[in-house]
Structure 1
Amino acid sequence: MNCGLLNAEKEPVPLKSVEVELEVRDHVATVVSTLNYENKEDKPLEAVFVFPLPGDAAVCHFSAKIGQTEIVAEVKEKQKAREEYDDALSSGQQAFLLEESDQSPDIFSLSVGSLRPGESASIRLEYVTELAVQADEGLRFCLPAVLNPRYQPRGSEDVCIQVTSVPASLVPYSLSFSARVSSPRPVSKVESNCPLDALQYLNTEQTQATVKLAAGHKFDRDVELLIYYKDAHQPTAVVEAGQASAKPGSLMGDPVVMLSLYPEFPQAVMSSVASCGEFVFLLDRSGSMDGSRIKSARETLLLLLKSLPMGCYFNIYSFGSCHENIFPKSVEYSQKTMEEALKKKIEEMGADLGGTEILEPLKHIYSQPCIPSQPRQLFVFTDGEVGNTKEVINLVRKNSGSHRCFSFGIGEGASSALINGLAKEGGGHAQFITDTDRMQPKVMQSLRFALQPAVMDISVKWDLPKGVSVTALSPPITALFQGQRSLVYAQLTGQSSEAAEGCVTVKYSLAGHPSQNQLHFSLKPAEDTGLPVHRLAARTLIGSLEIEERESRGEQEEGVKKKVVELSVQSGVSSAFTAFIAVNKGDGEVLQGPLVVRNVPTPRMMACCMPMPQYRKSFSPVVQFSDAGMEDFHVLQSSRCSLDVSESCLPKQPPRDPLLQLVSLQKASGCWVLDPALAAALGKTTREVEKPKPASVNQEVWGTILALIWLHGFKMDAQEEWELLAMKAVSWLRAQNAPCVTECVEAGNALLGCNMQKDALGI
């Protein structure tokens, strides 16, 4: 008879609860997760839990506590760790194994072996991660909870870790989450996509605060925190002392500095946007994009197309199990090509192309020759449910010299390894859009970045006292954007009797002009902080070496792999080639007989409850979704379900967003034409908008001024969405040298009930 918590297959689930404690120091997060297991069955168990972590996290501690006995895991070469785990189970000992997926660094597998009947175990997992800067200057922390099944491309022979998941509402264990935030600058607020208790300040300066999830939170979504500091965009440097027990001269034995750089570009350069470029949009149309995701993507493409500068080139690709493109090759942006893209293609786009095969359309895009004097800017929109993450990122890196890549992770469970990896290797910027976010503001911020002049010839120069040398641990900076942070890690070797101050200078060329940012910093190490900077630096260096290993061959490949293993073991940070292994070698009773495997499910955000495939784990199970997998099934189910519903039962389509209605009427040149559709978008009749028009002004000028007044008067809360297309409208107006502009603005204000000044409109 089953007892306790049950999963979708009516099997008891030994994982009872997850407790997460987050400590944020400035823009570095240390996360401690405690997973509490209990075996309520009458047989010994092996519990297998596959779960997501941030893709760039440095996992640095893993231990298990059974009763009063604590076993701390060691980092070992992955195959040796697996063999040690299997040997321990074969001999009746308890063992615990934590390893990173071979395919994606944001998926981990935790195996709890030989949990005796009635026995409890507490697993402690610790990792550190950098916090990304958002468009509104908030720092984003995400605790991934949702792990949607990753689509394996057809013909793929790669071994993937099996994901056992259930709809989020059926997750059989609880989550508690608390956070402590501290910074040299005051904490102004903390926001979340989940209900929070009130923020509690711990000092009068408000530089320390705590917050936790409200009681009754269901583990049904990724937990996102947005942390806001006052004066956040300041360059900083943290020097962290080495580990006392480590050898001087080694990464862990020497001090490590983490620089946080925020470049400030000259206003004269930033006020102008590029009027050239090849803009390639790649949209995920797999089944899991159905519903609000694909609708939001279509609306975003509308805004993007209206905001492009005249004289550029563009194309739109979409993909699922196959891929499509609107034009055979990128075309010049004009009213004709814009209309063709919008009316004939974008409005018809649905989440109807099956699986998530992103590699082939990327290969096709890169096979197209670049257009001279039109820098290629690639925008990728996906929910990130792919099984060949490393292969995709490798392809982007190999083509990084020919383009910049801006990536957007859509919805719960988007792979952070894929989204961050695309942007990092493509010299662009990554954004995450949960199902409660509006996609448009984040995408338009990335378009503003893409329209910024490209920063060239970036170099980092160190000026340190005599006797102190520096070793760069980060890969070279490939992209700098106004107001966005770049992190640089470096190892400091040696000592100096001189003034304990260093200086770093970032030099670059912007729009043909040499420029630089400089930061002076103290070489005095910070107090003991648990070595998060060292571990993040080690993870950064390991990531660079893993890339080098994938591009090497033969003996060189083995040599690089050996380096990764040595660094991983030395730093205690996980890698693709190592795993954490803990074996209880105490005097406990040796278990007899076979273990029963219990797969702990993770939440998934899927509309249908398709039963997951059953399997028995030897160690690395190979279970792949067929081409007609979860995503295709979802599409088929959706279409079947709608067949028996009469039209009278279907919900009425909501009225179109007034902002999008107005935007859709703008011409590629930037102007609006005075016609009945524009009058309706402004909430007026044709007669009402035509009557106050000054006689000497043509209909395009009058329509454009009315549209600008309406945007500034009624939609300032969405300014980041329409700012670029408004700039284009202003440029068009100035080029007309139109008469009576002041009179038009006054008449437009009277008509629309606004009070906008001509200067505020930019004209």
Structure 2
Amino acid sequence: SDLLNILTGYLIFILLAVVHLSVLFFLSAQAHERTLQIERDTHVFNGTQYKMLYVPLMRVSIETTIHSFIADVNITWSFYNAANVSIEAVYCFPVEERAAVYSFVARINDREVTAHLKEKNEAQHEYGEALRQGHGAYLLELDEQSIDNLVINVGAIPPLTECTITILYVTELERIDGSTVKLAIPTTIAPRYNSKKHRITSPAGTTSKYVQQSPYTMKFCGHIKKKTETGERFISKVSSTSHPIEVDLFQQDAYVVTFSQENIHLDRDILIDIELIKKQINNLLVTERGTVMAVLATTGEDCPGTRNNSPINEFIFVLDCSDSMSGHSKIELAKQTIMLFLKSLPIGSYFNIIRFGSNYTTLFPETVAMYAEVNILQAKHLIVKMQADLGGAELRGPLQWLTERPPGQGHSRQIILLTDGEISDVLEVLNLCQSIGSSSRIYPFGFGSSPSRALIKGLARVTDGQYAFIPPNTKIDIRVKQQLFQILQKSLSNVQVRWNLSVGNAHITPIQSLTVYANGHFLVYGLINDTSLKFNLNSSVQLYTECDCYPSCEAKVDRIVNISENRSIAEVAAKIIILKLEYSKKTIMGTLQRRLLREKFLNIETNKAISELSLKHNILSSQTAFFGEEKRATGKNIDMVLCEVPIQIPKYDLFLTQAPSSRIGMGTDEKIKYSVYNSCAERKIFGHWALSLFFAVLSL
């Protein structure tokens, strides 16, 4: 009897175990299937509920050190795979246009993998091969169409494993006026309109989704050096227009800046304003091994060779009225900007207003009209009625129209572009504007929390104009006065730099030509062939135009700073050379005519030159990529799942959930909102394991 009861108990135990193991494997398969479907969940809202999306990115940490108008930036992303299969994480992240990325490191399972810069096709091939062979692979690329977008590829993160990715880059500070510089660290990529597909597309050819809220947050810590090497105080005030910050004033060597709140999302760029002590803003020479940088302030007395622009000015306002301009009163700020300009234009000027979105319209049928009262009233009437209701941002249309209609004889044309910069074909637009630069200058205003900095800065650079960013809560009248002041200032175009050292016979190679405005500020760089060279206060920077035998402008050096322990200036200088080549590319049309194939050949040669410079200076470019491999003895990536991290849209870009598909190519049933995939299937599996154990004990 006792033996029979024992046998019966064991039989019941076995049956229960089989049943619950079957349930376990079924749920495990469900979880696996669900995980595999993550990448196919493109229609996330089905009318009644939101689907789940697994987000492997947990947090972002940003640190920076600022010295001599250069910022060293360290960004670390922490990924965690909570799924039951290996994942390949892909994340798109923005950088400054002139940011020189020089390091890419992965850390996983107490191992550190330092990536090496390679030609892009080679790096992509090795990345795929490493994953195919079951190893870990890490790839960092730059988007070729918009060179302010990075793509981070983290291959085969095993289940229940954390992986951190760190990049290092250096970038210039922006000069706002004579006494203020700004650190800008982009943190999110605004949804960008693709003019070829006539809808918003994911950045860099990925299928990453845009979301209104994401689970990952960021921390920030900035160190701003207080004094120069000679012990002089350099900074008078530190503030931020983008985030609430705390500034530790009591550190000996630097001001330490941190966020004053927790759980800060990546929904707007980090902007830190640094006010300089007045006596420190004159001509500064900064040297390091092999490179020199001059921070110069020019006056009309310094530049007697500068000349006034033509007394007859054309002002053409190109206003972005696409749907994306509706967020956080961007369209209202743009309208205020035009109104302020119209009150201040010089007598005898000509003007026009072009609105653009999916199409474009002009206020006056002719290219420009006289700046007269009747025309001003007509313009104001139009401005009052304007809304952000013209669909997608087709910027090339109005720019092409202006290219085909050059300014009148003896006229100087100034194009005032007002946009949030949310377009994807940045390099194509810049290429189109290369031809405008010979007769016109573009003065772009970038509105919003995260405009394309490559577009706004690039348009100003290729046409010898000046840019201005207008983040939320900006006093627009101050920026308009600054831009109008620059437009009407004396200037020199296509200026070449010569260095008057007054010591030795060393040669310094200038790396850029530039436009110089009297009463302006600018940075110039040079490469030194003699690294032992010592500068003194008799040195100066001379500026020549192509037809001048004598210098048109000379700026004498007031202070010299040596930062020989770093390479940051050299890296920025190398990036400037690379950018110059990037902007020299030509758009290849779909023609079969042999006579037009020369541009294709020139682009191949340009890409080759970009790749060589990039590899020589170890600076990421559109033609290179960082690749690192982590060898795994028993690794298998057969069941690996692609997991593209969603991108949080800028804080005030709410138009995505409101616009019909006829406007931006995104239907109202595709609202951009996700719930975080929280491994609930795995928790169910754990519950059934516990239930099986309970019944087994009960059976015994």
Same fold (TM over 0.5): yes
Alignment-mate amino acid for residue 336 of structure 1: V
Deviations 1:178-197 (A, max 9, x none): 00001524321111121111
8 Å Cα contact 1:331-1:337 kept in structure 2: yes
Q: Counterpart of 1:240?
A: 288
**Pairwise CA RMSD:** 3.3
1:225 paired residue among 267, 272, 294: 272
Q: CA deviation at 1:136?
A: 6.8
Question: How far apart, in 1, do the equivalents of 2:353 and 2:661 lie?
Answer: 28
Instruction: Indicate if the aligned counterparts of 1:400 and 1:426 stay in contact, CA closer than 8 A.
Output: yes
- Report 1:446-525 matches (<5 A): 446-456=483-493, 458-464=495-501, 465-473=503-511, 475-477=512-514, 479-494=515-530, 503-507=539-543, 515-520=552-557
Cα shift at 1:550: 3.7
Q: Return the letter of the residue paired with 1:194.
A: H
* d(CA) in 1 for partners of 2:140, 2:82: 23
Change (3 A) 1:367 1:488: same
Secondary structure of 1:354's partner?
A: coil
Q: 1:466 to 1:273 in 2, by over 3 A?
A: closer
* Match in the other structure for 1:760: none
Matched with 1:161 is 205
Cα distance between partner residues in 2 of 1:485 and 1:286: 34
Closer, same or farther in 2 for the Cα pair 1:632/1:430, shift >3 Å? farther
In structure 1, C-alpha distance between the alignment counterparts of 2:663 and 2:194, rounded to whole Å: 11
**Aligned twin of 1:335:** 373
Query: Aligned in 2, Cα 1:237/1:555: closer, same or farther, shift over 3 Å?
Result: same
Q: Does 1:96 align with 2:138?
A: yes
The letter of the residue matching 2:386 is M
1:596 equivalent in alignment to 2:636 = no
Over 3 Å counting, the alpha-carbon distance change for 1:494 and 1:607 in structure 2 is closer
Distance 1:163 1:313 in 2: 45
Q: How many residues align?
A: 599
Aligned partners of 2:668, 2:383: CA distance in 1, in Å? 24
* Corresponding residue of 1:256: 291
The answer to whether the Cα contact below 8 Å between 1:311 and 1:333 also exists between their aligned partners in 2 is: yes
2 CA distance for matches of 1:323 and 1:597? 40
2:218 is the alignment partner of 1:175: yes
- The within-5 A match list for 1:560-639 is 560-585=606-631, 587-605=632-650, 606-607=653-654, 610=657, 628-629=663-664
1:161/1:445 Cα in 2 relative to 1: closer, same or farther (>3 Å)? same
Looking at structure 1, the residues matched to 363 and 315 of structure 2 have their Cα atoms a distance apart, in angstroms, of 13
Q: Deviations over 1:620-648 (max 9, x none)?
A: xxxxx9863268969x99xxxxxxxxxxx
Q: Secondary structure at the match of 1:444?
A: helix
Structure 2 CA distance for partners of 1:413 and 1:565, relative to 1, 3 Å:
same
User: CA separation of 1:523/1:140 partners in 2, compared to 1, >3 Å: closer, same or farther?
Assistant: closer
In structure 2, the residue matched to 1:197 is 246
Cα distance in 1 for partners of 2:531, 2:170 equals 28
Normalising by structure 1, report the TM-score.
0.73
1:65 paired residue among 107, 121, 133: 107
Distance apart, 1:384 and its partner CA:
0.5
- The equivalent residue for 2:65 is 23
1:552-590 Cα offsets, whole Å, 9 max, x none, are: 7355443332222122112111111111111112x4421
Distance 1:589 1:414, change over 3 A: same
State whether structure 2 residue 588 is matched by structure 1 residue 539: no
1:10-62 Cα shifts (integer Å, max 9, x gaps): 22211111010011112111110011111111110011101111122111110
Cα deviation, 1:62-84, whole Å, max 9, x if unaligned, reads 01011221111111111111111
Question: Equivalent of 2:313, from 273, 277, 280?
Answer: 277
2:74/2:167 contact within 8 Å kept: yes
Distance (whole Å) between structure 1 residues aligned to residue 297 and residue 198 of structure 2: 42
Q: 436, 439, 455: which one pairs with 1:418?
A: 455
Q: How many angstroms does 1:499 deviate by? A: 7.7
Task: Pick 1 or 2: higher relative contact order, CA cutoff 8 A, min separation 6.
Answer: 2
Q: Residue deviations 1:352-405, cap 9 Å, x none? A: 110011011001012113122321111111101101100111111222110111
Tell me, what secondary structure is at the counterpart of 2:583? helix
Tell me whether 1:428 sits opposite 2:465 in the alignment: yes
TM-score (norm 2): 0.79
Letter in 2 for 1:607: L
SS at 2:194's partner residue?
coil
Higher percent of residues as strand: 2
1:524–1:163 distance in 2 versus 1, CA, 3 Å: same
Return 5+ residue gaps in structure 1 as ranges: 242-254, 613-624, 638-763
Distance 2:535 2:223 in 1: 35
Where do residues 646-665 of structure 1 align in structure 2 (5 Å cutoff)? none
> What is the SS of the residue equivalent to 1:353?
coil
Partner AA of 2:569 in structure 1: V
Percentage of matched positions with identical amino acids: 29
Query: Which SS does the other structure have where 1:560 is aligned?
Result: helix
CA contact (8 A) 1:467 1:495 kept: no
How far off its partner does 1:549 sit? 4.5
- Where does residue 151 of structure 2 map in the other structure? 109
139, 161, 169: which one pairs with 1:119? 161
Q: Are the counterparts in 1 of residues 418 and 445 from structure 2 also a CA contact under 8 Å?
A: yes
Alpha-carbon separation, structure 2, partners of 1:555 and 1:466: 42
| Residue identity opposite 1:161 in structure 2 | G
**Equivalent residues of 1:52, 1:107 under 8 A apart:** yes
2:126 alignment partner, SS class = helix
Pick the aligned partner of 1:211 from 246, 251, 257. Answer: 257
**Paired letter, 2:641:** V
Partner Cα separation in structure 1 for residue 498 and residue 215 of structure 2: 53
Deviation at 1:486, TM superposition (A): 1.7
* Structure 1 partner of 2:122: 80
Q: Mind listing any 5+ residue stretches in structure 2 that lack a counterpart?
A: 1-30, 39-43, 45-49, 588-597, 673-700
**Closer, same or farther in 2 for the Cα pair 1:466/1:266, shift >3 Å?**
closer
Cα drift, residue 273 of structure 1: 9.8
Which string of whole-angstrom CA distances, capped at 9 and with x for unpartnered residues, describes residues 592-622 of structure 1?
423111111221133156499xxxxxxxxxx
In the superposition, relative to structure 1, how do residues 275 and 144 fare at CA in structure 2: closer, same or farther (>3 Å)?
same
Aligned counterparts of 2:658 and 2:81: Cα–Cα separation in 1: 24
Q: Which amino acid counterpart does residue 513 of structure 2 have in structure 1?
A: P
Letter of the structure 2 residue corresponding to residue 517 of structure 1 = E
1:502–1:523 contact (8 Å) kept in structure 2: no
User: How many angstroms apart in 2 are the aligned matches of 1:416 and 1:268?
Assistant: 30
1:662-706: per-residue Cα shift (whole Å, max 9, x none)?
xxxxxxxxxxxxxxxxxxxxxxxxxxxxxxxxxxxxxxxxxxxxx
Q: Is the 8 A contact 2:93 2:149 kept in 1?
A: yes
Q: Is the 8 A contact 2:298 2:555 kept in 1?
A: no
Matched to 1:162, the amino acid is T
Q: Secondary structure at the match of 1:487?
A: strand
